[in-house]
A and B are shown apart, each in its own frame.
Chain A
Amino acid sequence: EVQLGESGGDLVQPGGSLRLSCAASGFLVSSNFMNWVRQAPGKGLEWVSIIYSDGRTYYADSVKGRFTIYRDNSKNTLYLQMNSLRSEDTAVYYCARARGGSASHKTVSEYWGQGTLVTVSS
């Protein structure tokens, strides 16, 4: 059974850093496309970043240069390193496993974690 569990969310001051973790079970993070998606309180969904099975990464313009997606294959865990945090980064952060394969829908999020809340405030 595919399971995803995010952790690491916390209250952090503007300009600070935080690392989110997404522990996976039932599949290998290294063999899949993995997304981070966030949702500000009372707002809609915002795609944040993706890492391909071959290691390629892509980011939303709003986080480019500040956030880094990476994985630890030995721990079967996905991470999101967030630096230079701003108030507008306050959100629930979800990790999601994509459908995979070779078709265009390989990056579509299929399995989601329960989310972890990041609050950026002084």
Chain B
Amino acid sequence: AIQLTQSPSSLSASVGDRVTITCRASQGIRTTLAWYQQKPGKAPKLLIYDASSLESGVPSRFSGSGSGTDFTLTISSLQPEDFATYYCQQFNDYPHTFGQGTRLEIK
């Protein structure tokens, strides 16, 4: 199975900061990567698919990039509602594995 490793596992930042989260795949997955945001007690929300395509309704401060094995999710200017846990998921091959998550906390 393809393994996804996110870094960092947790991150403290302030409102207005630019934040980058990395997801590394154990083998090449082209651009078959999605990013989700999850808040406590809630279902995940799709942010990005195909590594860089913004899901409809998601603010433009979210962006994704990468291909092959290395991917990034960037939030250009953190807003209070962005403090959450973020997951990457590959859909290149089954099982469609998730990264372990990155918890974004308020500094």
By a beta-carbon cutoff of 8 Å, the part of chain A in contact with chain B is 35, 37, 44-47, 50, 58-61, 94, 96, 99, 103-105, 107-110, 112-115
Contact = CB atoms under 8 A, between A and B. Distances in A.
A112 B43 contact: yes
Interface of B: 1, 30, 32, 34, 36, 38, 43-46, 49-50, 53, 55, 87, 89, 91-92, 94-101
Nearest to B38: A45
Given A61-B1, A104-B32, A105-B34, A47 B98 contact: yes
Nearest to A112: B43
A96 B14 CA distance: 32
Given A108-B34, A108-B49, A115-B43, A44 B98 contact: yes
Contact of B91 (A37, A46, A59, A108): A108
Given A45-B36, A45-B98, A107-B91, 4 more contacts: A44-B98, A103-B50, A105-B91, A109-B36
B44 A45 contact: yes
Nearest to A63: B95
Contacts of B55: 110
A58 B91 CA distance: 12
Given A44-B101, A104-B32, A105-B50, A114 B95 contact: no
Contact of B87 (A45, A58, A59, A107): A45
Contacts of B100: 44
A78 B97 CA distance: 21
A58 B95 CA distance: 8
Contacts of B34: 105, 108-109
